[in-house]
Homo-oligomer: A and B are copies of this chain.
């Protein structure tokens, strides 16, 4: 039986999962691939810690360069993470003519244009299914299954930590801080949770998905990013009263010669299937001109789900090596010559529905002042709710709008914040509700 030699860089949580799956499920992989995926090397500076996996003598080594320089290695799997040594090793592996698999979304979102260009020039495959959506085959779906579609929009729950925290706040009335502490205690959140809860990790993944869907160069820096740390249980409760749930969404939309790219807490109808994606699950809803609505859901992180996506990439590349050549599917979905710099629409120019919450003095005339300012800024209200509960002397006033322009909303909210009768900063949460046309 033919062998494809794998060199794994990084023996941490996901690296260990990949090694485990290659060993435990060797038979079933072989029965499908018709060849062996042979784990020749695992490189990690820590060669001592017991990971609960028995590797043959000589497989675990401290030197990653020995792996990428070995002429027998067919595919290098980068599971180190970060943007320093991981990038160097990937680029050197490409120069050595190795095929590469990585799950490193931060690196690809930040420096992917350079890396993919190097791979395309060298003619090697660079696969990254595990970078986005964990085990969900979202990369494969966009690159291969939806090839006949113009993608109109993608809406994704792409960070399990945030979804876990929001589910806890929603279902158990926890505060953000308590839910985060619980997520950390259960291993669903890092000690420093910034990358997750402030939306950066979600933005990394959106940058990758937008590139695949719209044929654009990877653009992380123009994505609008807002995390979940300022979400209050009160807003989640009000959302529920209007038939909405709050999720941290990655939103990518085709806007003709621009693309919308934004990450923020969003209200979506409770009956929307994304509302039912709870705990640490991920999901992406895609709207294509031929398929209509489609949805993928699964675990977006974790040792074995991520390892499953890596094995999918490994077998894809192995099949190219066994029956054809690299570059069978262009790395970023479009043929390299067709990838364009498509600008991201400035968030000020987007138009959507909004939820506002103001803390206002419970006095006659306040409502008319606020709604007057909104009206002057072309913001038309769908409903106004003065909530009974007093918080520090002020009353929450909640408003839902018809479609409004973000720039107008910001201007109006700045003015309203300066009103003497309004305490605290106004709360703004965007709404995605396809059932409402205006």
Per-residue CB proximity of A288-324 to B under 8 Å, as 1/0?
1111111111110010110111111001100110111
| CB proximity to B under 8 Å, residues A137-161 | 137, 140-141, 143-150
User: Is B299 a contact of A147 with CB atoms below 8 Å?
Assistant: no
Tell me the complex Cα distance, A334–B31, Å.
Answer: 6
Tell me the complex Cα distance, A114–B283, Å.
Answer: 38
Query: In angstroms, how far is the closest chain B Cβ from the Cβ of A97?
Result: 17
User: Is A304 a contact of B292 with CB atoms below 8 Å?
Assistant: yes
Tell me the complex Cα distance, A308–B330, Å.
Answer: 19
Give the secondary structure class of A's interface. Answer: mixed
How many chain A residues touch the partner (CB < 8 A)? 67
* A323 proximity list for chain B (CB < 8 A): 320, 324-325, 327-328
User: Is B148 a contact of A312 with CB atoms below 8 Å?
Assistant: yes
Tell me the complex Cα distance, A33–B33, Å.
Answer: 24
* A291 proximity list for chain B (CB < 8 A): 135, 298-299, 304-305, 308
Sample (20) of A-B pairs whose CB atoms are under 8 Å apart: A17-B290, A29-B148, A32-B335, A137-B137, A137-B140, A140-B145, A145-B309, A148-B315, A273-B297, A281-B293, A288-B308, A290-B304, A290-B311, A293-B299, A294-B297, A295-B295, A297-B297, A320-B323, A322-B328, A323-B325
* A276 proximity list for chain B (CB < 8 A): 271, 273, 276
User: Is A144 a contact of B298 with CB atoms below 8 Å?
Assistant: no
| This chain's copy number in the assembly | 2
User: Is B32 a contact of A308 with CB atoms below 8 Å?
Assistant: no
User: Is B290 a contact of A307 with CB atoms below 8 Å?
Assistant: yes
Query: In angstroms, how far is the closest chain B Cβ from the Cβ of A380?
Result: 31
User: Is A311 a contact of B148 with CB atoms below 8 Å?
Assistant: yes
Task: Please name the 10 residue pairs, one residue from A and one from B, whose CB atoms are nearest each other, closest first.
Answer: A324-B324, A148-B311, A137-B145, A294-B298, A290-B308, A135-B291, A31-B338, A295-B297, A34-B335, A290-B304
Task: Tell yes or no: A215 within 8 A of B by CB.
Answer: yes
* A307 proximity list for chain B (CB < 8 A): 148, 290
Closest to A215 in B: B31
* A335 proximity list for chain B (CB < 8 A): 31-34
Tell me the complex Cα distance, A154–B294, Å.
Answer: 18
Task: Tell yes or no: A53 within 8 A of B by CB.
Answer: no
Per-residue CB proximity of A247-290 to B under 8 Å, as 1/0?
00000000000000000000000010100110001010000111
